[in-house]
Chains A and B, each alone.
Chain A
């Protein structure tokens, strides 16, 4: 075996190509060569070639019906692609790896792979990142491991907040609440609901926030929690246009235990003019009186 990775690569390629002399590809030998070549390339910082070698190694493992190793190689390839900033390849490789993990029946690594992909793409392609996060959460939920999904939901909501799509972020927090409900994680659930309400208020949507609060109050665990008390204080402060009270609630310890993005938004409350919100609600009452 020559130590030159290029030579190894060419040799391995020859082994896999079907010719007249070769009737069946020798995947085992080829895979070994590919792996060694990839190591050699990585040592010499030729990441592009290493990536190609890993891809082929993964294919070889797949052919040998060992999806675990195949997935592992795919992940390494994806990491290299990330280093090279080839973003669509990153997404593709991680997806492939995730599928292979699912083939093995291992949901956790699958969703981990998608999570890694999403994190890599957060800044560059946020929509893809969101899609990846959603898929990762679905995989976990199918497997019944909802608790692992919390972090993913939170990360996804953070991406939405960065994109300033607050209602979408709130939706994700509510999904977090559902997942938390399934595994009786009441603290996370209540925090998720409070975060959703704060997001609605930040988006200047008092009606939605109140509706959300009413919906969440149907849930016993939330109703009895500190978070629901803070939420009701916040909503009454908004209804009365009491800015001092809003600021007091926003700096209370209950809010300070949420995600740091939410804390930042809460400190910026109230957005816009609270009195206009108040006026709107008063107008509604007047209309009712007339009828």
Chain B
């Protein structure tokens, strides 16, 4: 599934469409966003190098890590590039985001947009952009200006795809929704076991935290062209060498809320099944060879076991379980043979 993301990014945009945009979203409970970003970045870049993508180069806007980190990363993944390679360009917003060195800083205005604009002015070459961390951008600029930048990038002819990382805990819900609104794919990382709120420091949960620090769930929502949303899930494992995606071990029920609430209960719980088996039905033959004696209020049975006063007529059957369910049965007439096969409606004259 990480491959499908890379494929979507690689294929870029069709004519007249906005460039595909990916949001990688993580949280404190499953903080693997950077690993996922590194994975996607290196995979995507190797696609670019192999010429499989209409995009000829990658611009990495690095806010939270220094540019040299990315060269190291690519080297580790087996892709060796040097800084003069035309196919990758790292916009260094890590070292001096507000441009103090150049004294260009106005409040809230920072270098990344102007840098990107200048690169893009050059010709017909198509690029992709990776933004290290949108959180840093949002520190320095308002949501609407970041949103405008991202949507302008998406609609620019030269951009073939764009992806960014977001730590959802650092922002209000609205900011996360804005970024999800602007993207065509949302990849979110969730812990494989949910921790109860407010129990972080508890020793019992320590093993859970430890478990969550190595594994997690990876959900992706793709907004497809036909207006449908495709949801995929995988498990993610972090190892020394990198990150591994495996398909979900149990088919997690993603849509719990879908089974409609019906007014009748289609499934019985275990207790209900036992209770049901214990109820004695008011038929005179239970199918087990013995006739059942049913008290019918007229004391017409010979072997009446119930010698209660007439007033207390409620308890006509003894059920083995002491549940409150009762079946009250009054026989129509004594002359009737037990369990006769006659249809009582036969004497209707229709």
- Are A and B genuine complex partners? no
> Chain A interface (Cβ within 8 Å of chain B)?
none
Q: Which residues of chain B have a CB within 8 Å of any CB of chain A?
A: none
